[in-house]
A = this chain, B = another copy of it.
Amino acid sequence: MYKAPVEEIIFTLGHVAGMNEAMAGGLLGDLDADMVEAILSEAGRFAGNEIAPLADVGDTEGARWVDGEVRLPEGWPQLYRDWAAGGWNGLTASEEFGGQGLPHMLNVATLEMWNSGSMAFALAPTLTMGAIEALSVHGSDDLKHRYLARMISGEWTGTMNLTEPHAGSDVGALKSRAERRDDGSYRIFGQKIFITWGEHDASANIIHLVLARLPDAPAGTRGISLFLVPKFLVGADGSLGERNDLFCHSLEHKLGIHGSPTCTMIYGDGRFGAEKGAVGWLIGEENKGLACMFTMMNNARLAVGMQGVAICEAATQKAVEFARERTQGRAPGTTASGMSPIIEHPDVARMLLTMKALTQGSRAIAYACAHAIDMSKRTTGADAKHWQDRAALLTPIAKSFATDCGVDVASLGIQVHGGMGFIEETGAARLLRDARIAPIYEGTNGIQAIDLVTRKLPLAEGDHVRGFLGELKAVAEDISRSGIDGFGETAKRLKAAIADLEAGTDWLLAEQATGRLSQALAGATPYQRLFGLVLTGAYLAKGGLADVADGAREKRVTLCRFAAENMLAETVALRDYVTNGAASLEAARIALF
């Protein structure tokens, strides 16, 4: 059973992602080490003792559709209410509406734990938090006063309604429509698919954020608007009124996250209410829905990255525990009698160390992204711009690298278990099934790569990413200077990997500068992995350099060395694909497809 790695999480936040420095600099209010410890220990307790024990029933029972209503798995409605009662939903939300105004870093740390407990369960707050963010930034005062407090408390959950059958990655193709009414409200009509937690029985109301198109809207992404559409209308005093004209038509039968209802939602077909059309209110301006959507999505992208980290952690814990107990064969060089624990076999150790390194690397990347978000909100001027750019740069990497790692690590976890890994009761297989959606939703990892290459590398004319590379080089220099033997060839390997990343970066910027977008796009995915691997190496190194008790440091140093000498050489290949791969890809695409 999952046990939250609270100590590791606090270490990564503090020594790798920058929280200790920010705290010492007074940028995080009155937050101190004791508070961090108290909050995260309690979150760890809840995730391990309350959520994780209900993960299996969530998977086997799943969410069930009954006549337009959705019943969550046994025990989940109460679990959700207990979780909300803990105040977890409003950790980072505005104090004006009952939130706690804490740094985003603490939120991603807790999100990781909820997701390790059960990714299907943690999707509820993930979506609600995205909706809260969009409403907080873009909503009118009236909407905020009517909805925010109850969403922040978790009494009401929120959703994001983007996807339609023919509008997935290409959200501009959506067809749902909105009509203006004289009272300033709108009526929404259309069908939305893949709506996570679109309907369920754990909260009194569900606040849908829905993208739709006005009759006179321009085509494409410049003509979509965002609307708040509650399941039950809400009076000025906050009381629940009539049922709105929307319902859940059906649930998807999915590979994983069975406890999370994935709904097809129908708006405005006249099932409820006197007049046809779901009543909605505009968020932000007409036809500017895309900006609001990105507010939700940026938040959600990092949150999905946390799902990847969370699966990595849960799968690694499970596999290590199994490999310590399972005995088979005799490990080379063993002097013990009888069969050896399989963890002593080099091949199994390689899998487990790879899993550990990817877990800690993807965690550090995601936390560093959260740190940048916090800093961007708690600094001003050029500093704020710097941290905005850093958050923007790290978001696609955090999302894609962590979710790819989630799939790979969960798959390795099954392999470590041998035949038992294929049996559902073991639980290793569920982690792979759950993990597999994360590289797809909130912008496929291919879309993240396009975003990284075309929008994030050019930030500050490329100076932002170049500055970041400089910071990574400094880490490698610190290792050279540290004189710690255990690092082995880490400094050399890390420097070579950073050089590969730099070469790839320069090439992609140059191609785009000369208008060869297609060339740049061809290399986007290998570049994204290249970036993630280099950051894994650099952040593991940063952790190894941190001045902590010797025993813990030795573990970090040896894991860092393992990654440097057994994982980082892949960067040579990735750089080659980025800078030399486009021509053969294009030739083969044309010849074969």
Contacts and interface: CB of A to CB of B under 8 A. Distances in A.
B584 A419 contact: no
Contact of A418 (B168, B489, B524): B168
Interface in A109-148: none
Interface stretch (A178-186, A328-336, A473-481): A328-336
Contact of A169 (B343, B418, B421, B571): B418
A347 B592 contact: no
A573 B566 CA distance: 8
Interface string A478-509: 00000000101100000000000000000000
A43 interface: no
Given A194-B419, A555-B591, A562-B584, A522 B169 contact: no
Contacts of A566: 577, 581, 584-585
A411 interface: yes
A29 interface: no
Nearest to A163: B419
A572 interface: yes
A74 interface: no
A346 B522 contact: yes
Interface stretch (A197-205, A248-256, A279-287): A248-256
A570 interface: yes
A540 B298 CA distance: 42
Contacts of A252: 422-423
Interface in A420-460: 421-425, 429, 432-433, 436-437, 439-441, 444-446, 449-450
A126 to B, nearest CB: 16
Interface in A541-593: 554-555, 558-559, 561-562, 564-566, 569-573, 576-577, 580-593
Contacts of A352: 593
Q: How many copies does the complex hold?
A: 2
A168 B328 contact: yes
B588 A424 contact: no
B591 A554 contact: yes
A521 interface: yes
Count chain B CB atoms within 10 A of each CB in A253, A352, A566 and give the residue with the most.
A566
A320 interface: yes
Contacts of A169: 328-329, 418
A501 B68 CA distance: 60
A554 B587 CA distance: 10
A353 to B, nearest CB: 5
A446 B347 contact: yes
Question: Which range holds the interface residue count of chain A?
Answer: 35 or more
Contacts of A450: 347
Contact of A422 (B256, B561, B587): B256
A518 interface: yes
B518 A333 contact: yes
A424 B296 CA distance: 28
Contacts of A166: 327
A296 B367 CA distance: 51
A589 B486 CA distance: 13
A589 B521 CA distance: 39
Given A194-B419, A419-B440, A564-B584, A592 B353 contact: yes
Given A332-B517, A446-B348, A440 B423 contact: no
Contact of A585 (B253, B349, B440, B572): B349
A173 B439 CA distance: 41
B332 A518 contact: yes
Given A346-B521, A564-B584, A584-B564, A558 B591 contact: yes
A513 to B, nearest CB: 16
A564 to B, nearest CB: 7
Contacts of A222: none
A255 B424 contact: yes
Given A339-B173, A345-B446, A587 B561 contact: yes
Contacts of A440: 414-415, 418-419, 421-422
A346 B589 contact: yes
B562 A253 contact: no
A405 interface: no
A577 B163 CA distance: 43
A356 interface: yes
Nearest to A338: B173
A411 B407 contact: yes
A246 to B, nearest CB: 21
A295 B429 CA distance: 31
Nearest to A346: B522
A580 B593 contact: no
Contacts of A254: 422-424, 429
Contacts of A253: 423-425
Contacts of A168: 328, 418-419
Given A194-B419, A421-B440, 9 more contacts: A168-B328, A168-B419, A255-B422, A256-B422, A346-B524, A558-B592, A564-B584, A565-B577, A572-B573
Q: Which 7 pairs show the lowest CB-CB distances between chains A and B?
A: A569-B573, A347-B446, A562-B588, A332-B518, A255-B429, A349-B589, A565-B584
21 contacts: A168-B328, A169-B418, A193-B419, A254-B422, A320-B593, A324-B593, A332-B521, A346-B585, A346-B589, A350-B525, A351-B446, A415-B446, A418-B440, A419-B441, A422-B436, A558-B584, A558-B591, A562-B585, A565-B576, A565-B577, A570-B570
